[in-house]
Chains A and B, each alone.
Chain A
Amino acid sequence: AQSVTQLGSHVSVSEGALVLLRCNYSSSVPPYLFWYVQYPNQGLQLLLKYTSAATLVKGINGFEAEFKKSETSFHLTKPSAHMSDAAEYFCAVTEPLGGSYIPTFGRGTSLIVHP
């Protein structure tokens, strides 16, 4: 069975500082991993995904994540935070289930960016 743990329900950074959002997964088969972002009053938007190709994945808005099998982690980083990055971030994992891929979401991390 698949599961996702996001450490920290809130992460607060200053504008220009490094952003690090943590995600650890559990999966019985090689997983597919995703980061989604949700801005207030909007749906979820895909930031980036790992699908067993390169372990360092680059996404939109300057975000990237590294798949580390030995640590079962898929942490999201951005070198320099912008005010516009303030949002809710969800890590998700998928495994085949009955012929379809249904993602399991982490509880989410709220990113707060201070001026």
Chain B
Amino acid sequence: DTEVTQTPKHLVMGMTNKKSLKCEQHMGHRAMYWYKQKAKKPPELMFVYSYEKLSINESVPSRFSPECPNSSLLNLHLHALQPEDSALYLCASSSRQGNTGELFFGEGSRLTVL
């Protein structure tokens, strides 16, 4: 069982909708990540939060807006998306102490933009 929980598992939205993806972890990890993954491709890094502060934004379009309300929660707010944004969105976390870069992934939220 994954210790990183993502909701919803599936989301269908129109291009004018506003929706959010949620991620929660209770491992005490202080770094959290959003990745986008297309079919049969590796995950692409979108955002990294470290100690609840945005530390990396990989030039992601502003229609994706991350938020880290506290050390356990990570949200990704979606607005005015395009069909090409349809993908699996993965949340991950990692420990900051003795960090080697090992990531703990959630099962993902499958997004379809119509």
Chains A and B form a bound pair: yes
Does B100 lie within 8 Å of A110, measured CB to CB?
no
* A43-B4 Cα distance, complex, nearest whole Å: 10
Q: Say whether B84 faces chain A, with CB atoms less than 8 Å apart.
A: no
Query: For the complex, is B71 an interface residue (Cβ under 8 Å from A)?
Result: no
Stretch at the interface among B14-22, B48-56, B61-69, B72-80: B48-56
- Measured CB to CB, the closest approach of chain B to A13, in angstroms, equals 19
Cβ-closest chain B residue relative to A4? B42
Interface size on A, residues (CB 8 A): 26
Interface residue range, chain B: 20 to 34
B101 pairs with A43, CB closer than 8 A: no
- Cβ contact within 8 Å between B100 and A94: yes
- Indicate whether B105 reaches chain A with its CB closer than 8 angstroms: yes
Describe A's contact surface by its main secondary structure. Answer: strand
Task: Judge whether A101 and B105 touch: CB under 8 Å.
Answer: no
Closest B residue, CB atoms, query A52 = B100
Chain A residues near B4 (CB, 8 Å)? 43
B103/A108 in contact, CB under 8 A: no
Q: Find out whether the CB atom of B102 lies under 8 angstroms from the CB atom of A49.
A: yes
6 contacts between A and B (CB under 8 A): A32-B102, A36-B105, A43-B92, A100-B96, A102-B56, A103-B101
- Give 6 nearest A-B pairs by CB, closest first: A94-B101, A101-B101, A43-B105, A105-B42, A44-B105, A32-B100
Given A43-B90, A94-B101, 18 additional A-B pairs, CB 8 A: A36-B103, A41-B108, A41-B110, A44-B43, A46-B104, A88-B40, A92-B101, A94-B100, A100-B48, A100-B56, A100-B96, A101-B99, A102-B56, A103-B101, A107-B41, A107-B42, A108-B41, A110-B40
